[in-house]
Amino acid sequence: MSQSNRNSDRSVPSLQQEIILALAAIATVLLGFGLVTDIRTEGPGTLVLFIGFALSTVAGASALRIARERPMGRKLWAGLLGVLMLLFGLGGALLLLVLLFLAFNGGFGVGGRPLRAQGRRLLPELRVGSDWTRGERPDTSGLDRATRSALETLWLQDAQAEHASIPAFARISWLLAATGAPPNLMERAHQAGLEEIDHARRCFALAAGYGERSHSVRPMPDLLRGIVDVAGDPRVTLAVESLRDGCLLEGFGADMAAAAAVECRDPAVRDLLERIALEERSHAAFSWDLLAWALQAGGEPVRAAVAEAAQGLMRIRRPIATSAQTTILVSAADPRRLREHGRLPDTEWVPLWDKRLAETAARVAGLLHAETEEEKREKREKREKREKRGEAARLNEIV
Ligand SMILES: [Fe+2]
Ligand SMILES: [Fe+2]
């Protein structure tokens, strides 16, 4: 073999090695950039991370191919590098997908009334912005970086849930209007919506205090479809949703906020928790009144649907304090500080949920029973009237 041919043979793997090193370098820079951005916000962070993982995967596969072509004894380093980069690229991309799913679809936490469309719970996505940030900021002195980061994320989750409650109450108002409901129910639905706006703003303000940056919400085009598509009597929908989302979940939200306020040491956070406890309690009370009205106005179809929903209460999944995503952040935070800033661990949610669930089940059973008693009374009154008419007719015959 000539000298030039030997140089040419060597240049192929050499060129491949340089390309791999270049890809690895670019992937490292992109991953570094992507990791310092926030995947929950609008921006290039997520895309950059995916490109970085993709490049890492390509570089890993190429390194493995080179290792295969090398003679025994020279495979080790190229093979090791290839496997590591391949695992890093594929594993990172998979993890990112899971985190994105959890960040945008999490059903965790409590904070206002859930917003549902076509059986799916909706939450607004986040972006950078300060238009929703209004309220007192917490005192972050003495908090380490990990604890501040966990608190920022947890309060952002609450802000998203509170924000979703606003169109949830708008939807209730829409359905109430569709059924010709009395004005006091309409008024309370709108009052609750206004209070949820305030909750959302204040949660965003707390999160901004912990994270030293503000978040806002992205448009929700999903709200343009399937929100008020109700088949059958809307009073059935209103009654069943009021039981689950208002009486139970907002009632539990009030319980959690009240319990957290007792433990909270930060004045701004405690003020918000007390406010949320009070107002979520009134939202739950509104739902009970709405349910009673729907039972009375809707008759048997509503009663049957509520009885079935009451049977299913125990199957409702308990809201959890942290998602898989926030669990990582929370585990790195100082638990005592979290408690002092209004965040109780999940273990303390369990007894409160059990209590709320039992009380809700007992109260709705009483409501259904009370309705039955009312029907019995009506029947009794009708029977007495018939008997009186019969008695009067007999007296007339005698006379
Ligand atoms: Fe709320
Ligand atoms: Fe609420």
pLDDT tops 90 at residue 159: yes
4 residue type, one letter: S
Residue 399's pLDDT is what? Answer: 66
Give me the helices (H) in 70-117, please: 76-105
d(CA 168, CA 238): 12
In this prediction, what percent of the chain has a pLDDT beyond 90? 55
What is the distance, to the nearest Å, from the Cα of residue 379 to the centroid of all Cα atoms in its chain?
A: 46
Q: What are the C-alpha distances in Å from 304 to residues 54, 155, 318, 367?
A: 54, 39, 25, 13
Looking at residues 316-337, what average pLDDT do you find?
Answer: 84
Centroid of ligand 2 to alpha carbon of 330 (angstroms): 25
**CATH number of the domain at 126-371, please?**
1.10.620
- Ligand 2 center–CA 369 separation, angstroms: 27
- Average pLDDT over the chain reads 86
User: Looking at the CA of 109, which ligand is closest?
Assistant: 1
Amino acid 36: pLDDT: 55
Compute, in degrees rounded to 10, the torsion defined by CA atoms 228, 133, 349, 140.
170
Question: Encoding tokens for residue 283?
Answer: 């939202």
Distance from C-alpha of 171 to C-alpha of 193, rounded to nearest angstrom: 10
CA dist 270 and 263 (Å) reads 9
For residue 7, pLDDT beyond 50 = no
Q: Which of 16, 56, 61, 64 is nearest to 32 (CA)?
A: 56
Sequence-ordered list of residues with C-beta below 8 angstroms from that of 252, at least 6 positions apart, any chain? 110, 319, 352, 353, 356
Q: Band the pLDDT of 44: cuts 50, 70, 90.
A: low
Which residues have their alpha-adjacent CB atom under 5 A from ion ligand 1? 112, 162, 196, 199
d(CA 311, ligand 1 centre) in Å: 27
C-alpha 361 to ligand 1 mean position (Å): 23
Q: Band of the pLDDT at 71, cuts 50, 70, 90?
A: confident
Question: Is the pLDDT confidence value at 38 over 60?
Answer: no
Which of residues 329 and 292 earns the better pLDDT score?
292
What is the residue-wise DSSP string for 215-267? Answer: EEE---GGGGSSSS---S-HHHHHHHHIIIIIIIIIHHHHHHHHHHHHH---H
Query: What pLDDT does residue 42 have?
Result: 37
pTM reported for the whole predicted model: 0.71
pLDDT in tens, 8-27: 444 445 667 777 777 777 87
* More reliable by pLDDT, 99 or 303: 303
Residue % of the chain over a pLDDT of 70 = 87
- Lowest mean pLDDT segment, chosen from 11-25, 119-133, 152-166, 279-293: 11-25
The predicted-structure confidence for 226-267, as pLDDT tens digits, reads as follows 888 888 899 999 999 999 999 999 999 999 999 999 999 999
Closest by alpha carbon to 280, among 184, 183, 199?
199
Extents of the domains making up the chain: 3-105, 126-371
Tokens of 74: 């020279």
Q: What is the whole-number distance in angstroms between the Cα of residue 165 and the centre of ligand 1? A: 7
